[in-house]
Structure 1
Amino acid sequence: MSEKNQAIPGIPEKSFAGTITPVILSVFSVYLTVGMTLGTLPAYVKNELQCSALVVGIVAGLQSLATLLTRAYAGKLTDTKGAKTSKHAGLALILLSGLIYIGASMIDTYILPALCLIILARIVHGISESLAVTGALTWGIGLVGPQKSGKVMTWNGIAMYAGIAVGAPLAITMKSTLGISYVFATIILLPVLSWVVTYRLANLPVDTGHVRTPFYKVIGLIAPQGLGLAFASIGFACISSFIALLFSQQHWGNPSMAFMTFGAFYILTRVFFSSLPDRFGGYRVALVSLAVEVAGQLLIFTASSPAVVILGCSLTGIGFSLIFPALGVLAIKKVAPQMRGTALGAYAAFFDLALGLAGPAAGIIAGWYSYQAVYVFGAVSGLLAAFILFLNSKKTSQS
C-alpha cells in the first residue's frame, strides 16, 4: 500500500481537528485511568497495605513492564487486524483492570491477597495501555495521512499527559472524600466513554500481503531514538512514582499541584512550540529539552520547600514535552508505511522499559537514601540521554 492510499475510502475529507479529535479524546480517557492510579496507588500500597518503598516502586513499574512486553503483539495486531480492533481490545482490558482493582480494595484488610490483586491489575492495565495507545496512535496517523504524523504525535502526547495531570489530582481528591473504591469504579467507566467517542470511525485498511520486518530488526533500526527516549523518560517516572511520597515525607500537604504543573507545562510547551523539531531538527530540539529537564530534576533534589519542587516539576514538564515527537518522527521514517504500527510500538517500548525499570530502581534509591535522592537518578539519566543523542547526531552527520 503506497503512502497515497492511506486515506479511508468513502470517507469525506475533513479538517485535521475534526478528524483527529475523537481519537485524541479517547486517548485522554485512557490516560485518565493511568493518572488516577499514579495519583493514588503509591500511597495506597505504602500506607493501607503497609509495603516498603521497593514494593511501591515495583507496583508502579509493573504496568510499564507489562506494556513493554506486549508492544510487539500490539504492533502486529494493529498492522494485521486494524488499529480500531487493537484500540478497542485495549479498552476492554482497562475495564477488566478496574474490576480487579475494586476486588483488591474490598479485601485490603488481607494484605497479601490484596497486593496480589493489585499486581494482577497492574499487569492487565499495562497490556491494555499497549493495545489501546498503539492502536489509537496508528489510527490517528492513518486517518489524517503520514505527512501529519508529527502533529498526531504531538496531540496524542498532549492527551496522554493531560490525562495524567488531571487524573492524578482528581483521584487524590476522590480518595480523600469518597474512598479508593470510587477511584477504581471510575476506571471502569472511562474506557466505556473512550469507546463511545470513536466507535463510528472507520478502521484502517490492512495490507495483508506485506512481508513484515521482524520486531527485533525494527528495534535495531530505531534504537538510537528509542534509547534517547528511554533515558529521558526516567525523570518523568521519578515524578509520577514518588512525588506524592516526597510531599508526605516532608509534610508538605497535597501533591496535586506538582502533578498539575508538570502536565500543564508539558501541554503548553507542545501547543506553542510543536513546530520546533521541524524548524531546527529533532536531535537539536531533544538536546536542549534534556538540558531543561535535568535542571528541573536537580531543583527537586535540592528543594527545601514545596514551591521549589513544583518549579522543578514545571521545568521537567517543559523539557520532556518535545522529546517524544522530535525523536518519534525520525523513528517512523525508518520503516515502510505498512510497518508503522510496529515501529510505533517498538519506539514506545523504550518508554515502557524506562518506566518499568525506573520504578524499582528509584524505590531502592529511596530506601537507601531519601525520596529526594531519586531525582539525582533522574538528572543523571537525562545526561545519559543527551550523550547518546549527541553521539548519534555526530554519527549521522558524518555518514
Structure 2
Amino acid sequence: MTQENIHLGASAVPQASLGANPVLKLLPLTLTVFIGFLTLGMQLPVLPLHLHDTLGMGTLVIGLVVGAQFAAALLSRTWAGNFADMRGGKRAVMVGLVTAAVSGLVYLVSLAFVAVPVTSVWLLLGGRVLLAFGESLIVTGALGWGMGLVGAQHAGKVMAWNGIAMYGAYALGAPLGVALNSVWGFTGIAVATVFIALLALVIVSGVRAVAPTATRRTPFYKVMGAVWVPSMGLAFCSVGFGVITAFIALLFAARDWGNASLAFTAFGVAFIAARLLFGHLPDKFGGARVALVCVLIETVGLLLIWGADTATLAYLGAALTGFGYSLAFPGFGVEAVRRAPPQARGLAMGAYVAFLDISLGITSPLAGLLASGWGIGAVYLGGAIAVALSFAVALMLLRGREAPVP
C-alpha cells in the first residue's frame, strides 16, 4: 500500500460521510475526552492539600510534584504525536486512558506509605508523570482521530469540541474532587481516577477507528518547520489565559473587590459559549481570519482588566478574554493543520499544543516578576501586549495563506 493510499484511508473519508453531521460523529469522542480529563480536573484543588496536610511537604515540593505533570506532558508531546500517526488515533486514546488508570493505582500504592512521606511523594511523582503521558496520548490521539473521522476540512470543529470537553472537565472536576476528598480523602481521588479512566475506555471502544496515517516516524524538525508560525500565534495568545488563571485572584485581593470566583466563571462561560456558537467559523472563513479578530477581542479584554476600577469591569474583561481566546486556539490550529504534512497530523498537533504548555510555563514566572516591579495591574498590560503580538502572527498567516503546504 502506498503512502498516498494510507493517507486516503485515514482522512479522506467518503464525501457523503464527511457531510453528515460532523458534530454528531465527534460526540462519542468528545464525551470520552471529557470523562478522561475529569481525572486531571479532580486533582487540581486536592493534590496540593494532600501533599501539605497529610504528607507535611513544603511549597517547593508541592510545586515540583504538581508541575511535574505539566513538564512531562510537554516532553511527551512529540512521542505521543508519532504514536498516534503510526498506530492510529484510537489506539493512542485507549493507551492514554489505560495509562491514566494506572496512575490512579500508583496513587493508591502511595497511600500505603503515608508513614514514610518521602517514599509516598516519590510514588505520587511517578503517578503524575504517568498521567502526563496519558494526557498527551489522549489529546493528540483525539485530535488526529477526530480529523480522520470527519475530514481535515472540519479541523476547527474537532479542536473546538475537544477544547469544550477539556475545559468543561476542568470546571466540573475541581468541585467533584473537593467533594470526593471531603468524604473519602485522597483515597477517593485515586479510586475515582482508575474508574473514570476505565469508563471512558468503555465508551471509546465502540467508536470507529481510522487507519494510521504514517508507516514510519516523521522527524520532529520537519513538522516544526511547517507549523511553527501558527504555533507562535497560539503561544502569544495563550498568555491571556495564563494571566487570568494565575493572577486574577491576586488582583481582586489587591483592589479589595472580594471573591474572584465570578471572574473565573465569566471567563469559562464566555469560552464555552464562543465554542458552541461560533466553533464552525475557522473552518468556514479560515483560521487566520478568525484568529485576527479574536485576538483583538482578547486584547481588549485584558486592557479592560488592567484599567478596571470596579469588579464589574474586570468581569467584563475576563469574559472578553475568554471569548477571544476560545476561538483563537482553533483559528491558529486550523492553520497548523493546513500546513502540516498529511501523514504527520498527530505529530503536528502534538507540536502545536506543546506551544501552549511552553507559554503557560513561561508566563507565570515572568508575570510574577512584572507584578513585583510594577504592581499586579501591570500583569494585564503585559498580557495585552503579548496577545497583540499574535495579531501580527495572524496577519502573517493571512498574507501567506496561498503558500503551498509541505
Q: TM-score range by the shorter chain?
A: 0.7 to 0.9
Moved more, 385-394 or 38-47: 38-47
Following superposition, the deviation at residue 213 of structure 1 comes to: 3.8
Following superposition, the deviation at residue 71 of structure 1 comes to: 1.3
| Alignment pair present for 1:225 and 2:230 | yes
CA RMSD of aligned residues (A): 3.8
SS at match of 1:70: helix
Q: Could you tell me which of 129, 132, 144 is aligned with 1:123?
A: 129
Change (3 A) 1:293 1:43: farther
Q: Could you tell me which of 65, 68, 72 is aligned with 2:71?
A: 65
Change (3 A) 1:257 1:109: farther
Query: 1-side partners of 2:153 and 2:287: how far apart?
Result: 16
Name the amino acid aligned to 1:25.
Answer: L
The structure number with the bigger radius of gyration is: 2
Moved more, 17-26 or 278-287: 278-287
Change (3 A) 1:257 1:103: farther
Query: 1-side partners of 2:311 and 2:249: how far apart?
Result: 11
Name the amino acid aligned to 2:353.
Answer: A
2:357 maps to 352
Write out aligned runs for 1:295-334 (5 A).
295-301=300-306, 308-334=313-339
| 1:196-252 Cα shifts (integer Å, max 9, x gaps) | 11112233223555x654111101111110011012122223334455677788887
Contact 1:58–1:359 (CA under 8 A) maintained in structure 2: no
SS at match of 1:322: helix
- Identify the structure with bigger relative contact order (alpha carbons < 8 Å, sequence gap 6+): 1
Following superposition, the deviation at residue 302 of structure 1 comes to: 5.5
Query: 2-side partners of 1:328 and 1:263: how far apart?
Result: 20
How many matched pairs?
396
Contact 2:302–2:318 (CA under 8 A) maintained in structure 1: yes
Following superposition, the deviation at residue 128 of structure 1 comes to: 1.2
Name the amino acid aligned to 2:272.
Answer: I
Moved more, 370-379 or 60-69: 370-379
| Alignment pair present for 1:290 and 2:301 | no
Query: 2-side partners of 1:360 and 1:59: how far apart?
Result: 17
Contact 2:85–2:212 (CA under 8 A) maintained in structure 1: yes
Query: 1-side partners of 2:201 and 2:102: how far apart?
Result: 14
Change (3 A) 1:44 1:361: farther
Following superposition, the deviation at residue 358 of structure 1 comes to: 3.1
Name stretches of at least 5 consecutive residues in structure 2 with no aligned partner.
none
Query: 2-side partners of 1:94 and 1:82: how far apart?
Result: 19
Query: 2-side partners of 1:312 and 1:187: how far apart?
Result: 35
1:74 maps to 80
Query: 2-side partners of 1:203 and 1:30: how far apart?
Result: 18
Query: 1-side partners of 2:303 and 2:111: how far apart?
Result: 36
Write out aligned runs for 1:86-105 (5 A).
86-101=92-107
1:378 maps to 383
Contact 2:10–2:213 (CA under 8 A) maintained in structure 1: no
Query: 1-side partners of 2:348 and 2:76: how far apart?
Result: 13
Write out aligned runs for 1:159-198 (5 A).
159-175=165-181, 179-198=185-204
| 1:281-333 Cα shifts (integer Å, max 9, x gaps) | 32232132222223333444566766555444322210111112111111112
2:28 maps to 22
Name the amino acid aligned to 2:37.
Answer: Y
Contact 2:157–2:283 (CA under 8 A) maintained in structure 1: no
Q: Percent identity?
A: 39
| 1:54-100 Cα shifts (integer Å, max 9, x gaps) | 77665554333212211111111111112121111111222233344
Change (3 A) 1:254 1:122: farther
SS at match of 2:339: coil
Query: 1-side partners of 2:64 and 2:320: how far apart?
Result: 26
Q: Could you tell me which of 378, 388, 396 is aligned with 2:393?
A: 388
Query: 1-side partners of 2:312 and 2:116: how far apart?
Result: 38
Following superposition, the deviation at residue 171 of structure 1 comes to: 2.9
Moved more, 352-361 or 245-254: 245-254
Query: 2-side partners of 1:332 and 1:342: how far apart?
Result: 10
| Alignment pair present for 1:263 and 2:268 | yes
Query: 1-side partners of 2:370 and 2:62: how far apart?
Result: 12
Give the TM-score taking structure 2 as reference length: 0.81
2:242 maps to 237
| 1:104-133 Cα shifts (integer Å, max 9, x gaps) | 677678776555454443332222111111
Name the amino acid aligned to 2:157.
Answer: K
Name stretches of at least 5 consecutive residues in structure 1 with no aligned partner.
none
SS at match of 2:231: helix
| 1:17-45 Cα shifts (integer Å, max 9, x gaps) | 44321111011112222333334446666
